[in-house]
Amino acid sequence: MSISKTRQLLVDVARQLFAKNGLENTTMNDIAQASGKGRRTLYTYFKSKEDIYYAVIETELERLSDKLDEVAARKISPQEKVIELIYTHLSMIRETVVRNGNLRAEFFRNIWMVEKVRRHFDDAEVELFRKVFAEGKECGEFDIDNVDLVADITHYCIKGLEVPYIYGRIARGMTEEATKPQVAKFVYGALGKKVKIKD
């Protein structure tokens, strides 16, 4: 097994154990045994349980980042991309938290630890929004004076919606299809263009 495959196996096993038992109730020995690798192999890749926890979060954020990149690469208008990026971000964050069971409490309890690990992801997402807003400004879809500022604001607004979205406190009981036209109207209004919203 290659170095990268062994490391990924250890991260995957750790994620599953953290999700099932929680971070506190999982030991490095548990991870080594469940992966079928020795403690020596585990410590070759990770100095501590915190290191492997960081790697788990990074892997989850990479999944989210890949999905956002797919949306940004689609052949749709900048207006549609903005809405799709927002919904993809929120739904992937919720899926990640739900998928990780007992680990989700750790995400919220150690928010500063998560913030430290997600800095690279946040920067990449802001850059994605910059590109989409610049494209929309160039083709006349958006009336934006400062693309960088609007990208920053958009990113932090979405980030602020994560917890309420995960807990279902936004648009209680409404489907994504039902909320999209209103969200689009709100977002497009903020971007300075009056547009007809597709049903």
Distance CA 127, CA 166 (A): 24
Q: Which pLDDT band, with edges at 50, 70 and 90, does 3 fall under?
A: low
Mean pLDDT of 133-151: 94
Q: What is the pTM of this model?
A: 0.81
pLDDT over 70 at 197, yes or no: no
Contact criterion met (CB below 8 Å) for 105 and 115: no
Predicted confidence (pLDDT) per residue in 98-135, tens digit: 777 766 666 656 666 777 778 888 999 999 999 999 99
Predicted confidence (pLDDT) per residue in 74-86, tens digit: 999 999 999 999 9
Closest CA to 129 of 104, 162, 152, 163: 152
Distance CA 165, CA 163 (A): 5
Mean pLDDT of 25-51: 93
Q: Residue 128 is encoded by which pair of tokens?
A: 């994605």
Give residue 28's pLDDT. 95
Q: What is the 3-state secondary structure (H, E, C) of 108-168?
A: HHCHHHHHHHHHHHHHHHHHHHHHHHHHHHHCCCCCCCCHHHHHHHHHHHHHHHHHHHHCC
